[in-house]
């Protein structure tokens, strides 16, 4: 509450004594001025009378022809009158001397002289009167101006005092109206928390009228811990000071409210005489703040802790346990296997439901006090405090089993499995970042062993992880520094032995590790996204070399493998068209090889792109057929030209009757669908002969040639057709790598 000044007693300048004094002083001043004016006005009257007597005397002397006794008597009387009118003996000395000498002429001259002196004296008095009048006018004017100015100032002071009084009254009325009608509750209470005033807004906030609350104790509405804080504030808050407060206060219906406001010490104010508490209900805002805080540190989908909260708890746990090295920590990293396929095939909505269910399963199995978190995507983590590595492994194995239990969403059965990596964190020896990294390394190792597995971190895994990181960095550099090379394996017409095409196979000429096969770096490129840059380079280089080979009479085709990440890009069709345009290669000489799993990841986007490419003349082949989902329904929908039978089927055609039957059925199906069939991995003459028997048109494998460099391609094309196949020498001909 603000402090206001109230004007007590009469307005300054309005007391009866002051009014009487002012009136008497004003009347006295007016009378004094009037007397002064009268005195100045009548000051020359003696001189005027003297001049009248002098004029009469002068006239009498001038009229007399001789000085007789009568004339002298009259002159004496006139002299006496002049003396009576105030002329001194000195003024009359000359005239009296002439009278005594009875010289009429001298008397006349002295009378005129006296008249001149009296006239001068009257003029002097007139000038003095005018000067006095002017001086008096100036003094009176200044006095009245000063008096009037004082009156004006007093009037203004009075008017200001009245205005302040009116403003104070209006302010008090306004303040009272605000208190009476405001939404904030205003309470005035003493040191014992007994209230002396409670505003009517208490009804809306607390469910009790202000009248009922007046006289009760504020402490009865507060929680015990808030009562202690209030008592402390009342004891320490100085006069005039205020403090922001936040209390839990009970509503009339029993629920707890969160209120916040300002507590002010106005005990020294006579009009208040107590502590003033102004507060409002902020329960909803408090709940919203708690929800926002929860959302900031928890995953919105699963309700588990998020990465930030998990890292914070891990850091604090490592700090708390420094003095207890025997109480170790274990970090578990869990990642769902092939989760991307669920999102791609069934949509992200279904994927979110799977993640939500997995989150509930994780929460149901972790111990009280442990922290379960979703780090992002399909990655989860668990922090186990005061646990051994064996206890963590048992929990991880139970998690793998629990996650693998059937999940059915909207009639779709989800084959969900998870891999888990474990890393022990020793307080004082490892940081939270290192603990998370070690668990991630262990998870990577678990995934390399297969699906639904558990792996624990050790230094050997760390060395492997560092090696992978180094190799990843080298690969990124190698792509831009032209360390990649292409080798080419021919595809051969089985009946004639004629080379009809080549498949481009990438190799990496590492400056230290030597020539690396695709198995050493392509999986890493797929994980890191570098596969798009890598395969784009392969596409442009292969098209360039294929254009050079068109000078051969066989006009061989060029097959290029396409990755899933490359195929789903919106600019993929334009990229292929640009590679053809820059190289000058005819579209029908290019074959794009894709696997079944790549196509099935996103049929709705893949099929239109493949159709556009076929419309432009590019051929499309399904590679490694039979190792993926192998569904005729999918196969009939795909815009393809070539079916490449996987090497695992070709290996059994000469030794396994059942395997040969399956392979023959695949080749027959390919004929029925008007697809060109290519048998991959042909290594011996018996396999080639069997393939000719079942009318497989084209073969590819070591039986004819291993992958060779560009020079080797030219040498292969230069050899006679009938020299290809069946010779041990030819198997190793121009071999540049054992893969």
Q: Of 41-50, 135-144, 299-308, 491-500, which gets the smallest average pLDDT?
A: 41-50
The pLDDT value given to residue 722: 60
Say yes or no: 142 and 252 in one domain: no
Say yes or no: 145 and 240 in one domain: no
Domain that residue 272 falls in: 183-287
- The CATH number covering residue 243 comes to 3.30.450.20
The pLDDT value given to residue 273: 85
The pLDDT value given to residue 628: 56
pLDDT at 431 over 50: yes
Residue 374: phi and psi, rounded to 5, are: -105, 120
Query: Where are the alpha helices (H) located in 298-338, listed in sequence order?
Result: 307-320
pLDDT at 237 over 50: yes
Domain assignment present for residue 465? The answer is no
pLDDT at 733 over 50: no
Neighbours of 665 (CB within 10 A): 12
The pLDDT value given to residue 462: 65
The pLDDT value given to residue 724: 63
Q: Taking a C-beta distance cutoff of 8 angstroms, is the pair 570, 540 a contact?
A: no
Say yes or no: 187 and 331 in one domain: no
Say yes or no: 150 and 61 in one domain: yes
The three-point CA angle 61-64-66 to 5° equals 115
At 391-406, the pLDDT tens digits run: 999 999 999 999 998 8
Say yes or no: 582 and 555 in one domain: yes
- For the segment 550-579, the average pLDDT, to the nearest whole number, is 90
The pLDDT value given to residue 168: 66
pLDDT at 731 over 70: no
Q: Taking a C-beta distance cutoff of 8 angstroms, is the pair 381, 302 a contact?
A: no
- For the segment 158-183, the average pLDDT, to the nearest whole number, is 68
Say yes or no: 216 and 323 in one domain: no
Say yes or no: 240 and 221 in one domain: yes
Residue 734 vs residue 286, higher pLDDT: 286
Cα–Cα distance measured from residue 401 to residue 332, given in angstroms and rounded to the nearest whole number: 15
Cα–Cα distance measured from residue 567 to residue 565, given in angstroms and rounded to the nearest whole number: 6
Residue 203 vs residue 102, higher pLDDT: 203
Say yes or no: 134 and 258 in one domain: no
Taking the CA atoms of residue 396, residue 398, residue 404 and residue 405 in that order, the dihedral angle to the nearest 10 degrees is: -160
Q: Pick from 267-271, 548-552, 636-640 the range whose average pLDDT is largest.
A: 548-552
Q: Which residues, 6+ apart, have CB-to-CB distance to 539 below 8 Å?
A: 560, 575, 576, 579
At 433-448, the pLDDT tens digits run: 888 888 888 888 888 7
Cα–Cα distance measured from residue 72 to residue 55, given in angstroms and rounded to the nearest whole number: 16
- For the segment 105-113, the average pLDDT, to the nearest whole number, is 78
Residue 303 DSSP class: -
Say yes or no: 421 and 476 in one domain: no
The pLDDT value given to residue 11: 47
Exposed, middle or buried by CB within 10 Å (0-12, 13-18, 19+), for 495?
exposed
- For the segment 24-44, the average pLDDT, to the nearest whole number, is 75
Out of 266, 287, 308, pick the residue that ends a domain: 287
| % of the chain with per-residue pLDDT over 90 | 27
The pLDDT value given to residue 737: 40
Say yes or no: 527 and 554 in one domain: yes
The pLDDT value given to residue 735: 38
The pLDDT value given to residue 632: 60
pLDDT at 705 over 50: yes
Cα–Cα distance measured from residue 389 to residue 146, given in angstroms and rounded to the nearest whole number: 102
Domain assignment present for residue 437? The answer is yes
Residue 560 vs residue 42, higher pLDDT: 560
pLDDT at 727 over 60: no
Following DSSP, what letter does each residue of 406-473 receive, concatenated?
-EEETTEEE---EEEEEEEE-TTT--HHHHHHHHHHHHHHHHHH-SS-EEE--HHHHHHHHHHHHHHH
pLDDT at 711 over 80: yes
Exposed, middle or buried by CB within 10 Å (0-12, 13-18, 19+), for 453?
buried
Out of 115, 141, 174, pick the residue that ends a domain: 174
Say yes or no: 431 and 528 in one domain: no
Strand ranges (E), 270-347: 274-281, 329-336
Number of domains in the chain: 4
Residue 301 vs residue 338, higher pLDDT: 301
Q: Which residues, 6+ apart, have CB-to-CB distance to 262 below 8 Å?
A: 242, 243, 244, 245, 277, 278, 279
Confidence of residue 126 (pLDDT cuts 50, 70, 90): confident
Residue 734 vs residue 721, higher pLDDT: 721
Cα–Cα distance measured from residue 85 to residue 74, given in angstroms and rounded to the nearest whole number: 16
* Residue-level length of the chain: 739
The pLDDT value given to residue 82: 75
pLDDT at 102 over 60: yes
Domain assignment present for residue 3? The answer is no
| % of the chain with per-residue pLDDT over 70 | 87
Cα–Cα distance measured from residue 714 to residue 502, given in angstroms and rounded to the nearest whole number: 12
The pLDDT value given to residue 128: 79
The pLDDT value given to residue 728: 34
The pLDDT value given to residue 712: 93
Hunting for tokens 């060395």 — which residue is that? 463
Neighbours of 544 (CB within 10 A): 16
Across the chain, mean pLDDT equals 82
Domain assignment present for residue 398? The answer is yes
Say yes or no: 708 and 670 in one domain: yes
Neighbours of 504 (CB within 10 A): 21
DSSP bridge partners of 730? none
Cα–Cα distance measured from residue 193 to residue 216, given in angstroms and rounded to the nearest whole number: 8
- For the segment 386-393, the average pLDDT, to the nearest whole number, is 89
pLDDT at 707 over 80: yes
Domain assignment present for residue 292? The answer is no
Exposed, middle or buried by CB within 10 Å (0-12, 13-18, 19+), for 129?
middle
pLDDT at 269 over 70: yes
- The CATH number covering residue 403 comes to 3.30.70.270
Hunting for tokens 């991995």 — which residue is that? 681
Confidence of residue 688 (pLDDT cuts 50, 70, 90): very high
Q: Of 159-173, 374-388, 663-677, which gets the smallest average pLDDT?
A: 159-173
Q: Of 92-101, 163-172, 347-356, which gets the smallest average pLDDT?
A: 163-172
Dihedral of alpha carbons 578, 583, 587, 593, sign: negative
pLDDT at 88 over 80: no
- The CATH number covering residue 707 comes to 3.20.20.450
Residue 97 vs residue 400, higher pLDDT: 400
Q: Of 27-41, 134-148, 183-197, 204-218, which gets the smallest average pLDDT?
A: 27-41
Instruction: Report CA 632 to chain centroid distance, whole Å.
Output: 53
The predicted model scores a pTM of: 0.50
Cα–Cα distance measured from residue 251 to residue 392, given in angstroms and rounded to the nearest whole number: 48
pLDDT at 317 over 50: yes
Q: Indicate left, alpha or beta for 585 from its phi (over 0: left) and psi (-120 to 50: alpha).
A: beta
Out of 263, 287, 311, pick the residue that ends a domain: 287
pLDDT at 559 over 90: yes
Q: Indicate left, alpha or beta for 98 from its phi (over 0: left) and psi (-120 to 50: alpha).
A: alpha
- For the segment 254-280, the average pLDDT, to the nearest whole number, is 88
SS3 label, residue 579: helix
Confidence of residue 161 (pLDDT cuts 50, 70, 90): confident
Domain assignment present for residue 10? The answer is no
Q: Indicate left, alpha or beta for 492 from its phi (over 0: left) and psi (-120 to 50: alpha).
A: beta
Neighbours of 533 (CB within 10 A): 15
Domain assignment present for residue 736? The answer is no
Q: Of 296-300, 338-342, 442-446, which gets the smallest average pLDDT?
A: 338-342
The pLDDT value given to residue 1: 46
The pLDDT value given to residue 600: 60
At 43-70, the pLDDT tens digits run: 677 777 777 877 877 777 777 766 677 7
Instruction: Report CA 8 to chain centroid distance, whole Å.
Output: 55
3 state SS for 158-194: HHHHHHHHHHHHHHHHHHHHHHHHCCCEEEEECCCCE
Domain assignment present for residue 558? The answer is yes
Cα–Cα distance measured from residue 708 to residue 717, given in angstroms and rounded to the nearest whole number: 12
Hunting for tokens 């919203």 — which residue is that? 288
């Amino acid at each position: 509450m603000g402090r206001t000044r109230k004007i007590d007693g009469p307005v300054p300048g309005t007391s009866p004594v002051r009014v009487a004094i002012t009136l008497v002083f004003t009347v006295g001043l007016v009378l004094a001025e009037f007397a002064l004016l009268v005195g100045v006005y009548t000051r020359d009257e003696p001189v005027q009378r003297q001049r009248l007597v002098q004029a009469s005397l002068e006239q009498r002397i001038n009229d007399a022809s001789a000085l007789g006794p009568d004339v002298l008597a009259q002159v004496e009387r006139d002299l006496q009158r002049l003396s009576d009118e105030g002329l001194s003996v000195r003024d009359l000395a000359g005239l009296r001397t002439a009278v005594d000498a009875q010289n009429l002429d001298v008397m006349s001259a002295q009378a005129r002289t006296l008249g001149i002196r009296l006239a001068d004296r009257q003029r002097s008095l007139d000038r003095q009167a005018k000067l006095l009048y002017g001086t008096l006018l100036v003094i009176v004017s200044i006095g009245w101006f000063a008096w009037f100015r004082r009156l004006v100032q007093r009037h203004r002071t009075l008017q200001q005092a009245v205005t302040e009084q009116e403003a104070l009254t209006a302010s008090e009325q306004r303040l009272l109206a605000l208190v009476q009608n405001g939404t904030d509750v205003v309470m005035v209470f003493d040191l014992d928390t007994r209230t002396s005033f409670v505003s009517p807004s208490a009804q809306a906030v607390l469910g009790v009228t202000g009248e009922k609350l007046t006289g009760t104790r504020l402490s009865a509405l507060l929680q015990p811990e808030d009562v202690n804080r209030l008592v402390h504030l009342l004891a320490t808050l100085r006069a005039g000071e205020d403090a922001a407060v936040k209390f839990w206060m009970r509503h009339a219906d029993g629920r707890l409210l969160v209120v916040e406001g300002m507590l002010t010490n106005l005990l020294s104010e006579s009009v208040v005489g107590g502590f003033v508490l102004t507060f409002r209900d902020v329960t909803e805002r408090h709940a919203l703040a708690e929800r926002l805080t929860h959302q900031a540190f928890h995953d919105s989908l699963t309700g588990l802790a998020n990465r930030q909260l998990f890292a914070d708890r891990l850091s604090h746990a490592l700090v708390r346990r420094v003095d207890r090295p025997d109480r170790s920590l274990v970090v578990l990293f869990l990642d769902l296997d092939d989760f991307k396929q669920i999102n791609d095939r069934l949509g992200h909505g279904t994927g979110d439901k799977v993640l939500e269910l997995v989150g509930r399963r994780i929460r149901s199995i972790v111990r009280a006090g442990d922290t379960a978190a979703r780090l992002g995507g399909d990655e989860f983590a668990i922090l186990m405090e005061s646990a051994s590595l064996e206890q963590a492994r048992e929990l991880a194995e139970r998690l793998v089993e629990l996650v693998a239990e059937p999940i059915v969403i909207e009639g779709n059965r989800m084959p969900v499995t998870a891999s888990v990596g474990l890393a022990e964190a020793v307080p004082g020896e490892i940081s939270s970042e290192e603990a998370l990294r070690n668990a991630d390394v262990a998870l990577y190792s678990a995934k390399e062993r297969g699906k639904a597995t558990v792996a624990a971190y050790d230094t050997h895994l760390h060395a492997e992880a560092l090696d992978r990181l180094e190799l990843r960095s080298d690969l990124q550099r190698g792509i831009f520094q032209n360390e990649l090379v292409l080798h080419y394996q021919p595809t051969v017409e089985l009946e004639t032995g004629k080379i009809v095409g080549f498949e481009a196979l990438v190799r990496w000429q590492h400056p230290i590790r030597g020539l690396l096969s695709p198995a050493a770096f392509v999986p890493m490129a797929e994980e890191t996204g570098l596969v798009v840059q890598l395969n784009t380079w392969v596409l442009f280089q292969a098209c360039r070399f294929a254009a050079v080979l068109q000078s051969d009479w066989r006009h061989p085709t060029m097959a290029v493998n396409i990755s899933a990440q490359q195929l789903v890009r919106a600019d993929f069709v334009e990229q292929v068209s640009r590679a053809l345009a820059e190289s000058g290669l005819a579209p029908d000489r290019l074959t794009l090889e894709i696997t079944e799993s790549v196509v099935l990841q996103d049929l709705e986007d893949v099929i239109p792109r493949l159709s556009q490419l076929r419309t432009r003349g590019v051929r499309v082949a399904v590679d490694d057929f039979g190792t993926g989902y192998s569904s005729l329904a999918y196969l009939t929908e795909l815009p393809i030209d070539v079916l490449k039978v996987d090497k695992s089927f070709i290996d059994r055609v000469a030794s396994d009757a059942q395997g040969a039957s399956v392979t023959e059925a695949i080749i027959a199906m390919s004929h029925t669908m008007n697809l060109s069939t290519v048998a991959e991995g042909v290594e011996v003459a018996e396999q080639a002969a069997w393939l000719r028997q079942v009318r497989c048109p084209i073969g590819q494998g070591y039986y004819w040639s291993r992958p060779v460099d560009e020079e080797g391609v030219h040498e292969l094309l230069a050899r006679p057709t009938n020299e290809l196949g069946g010779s041990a020498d030819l198997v190793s001909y121009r071999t540049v790598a054992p893969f």
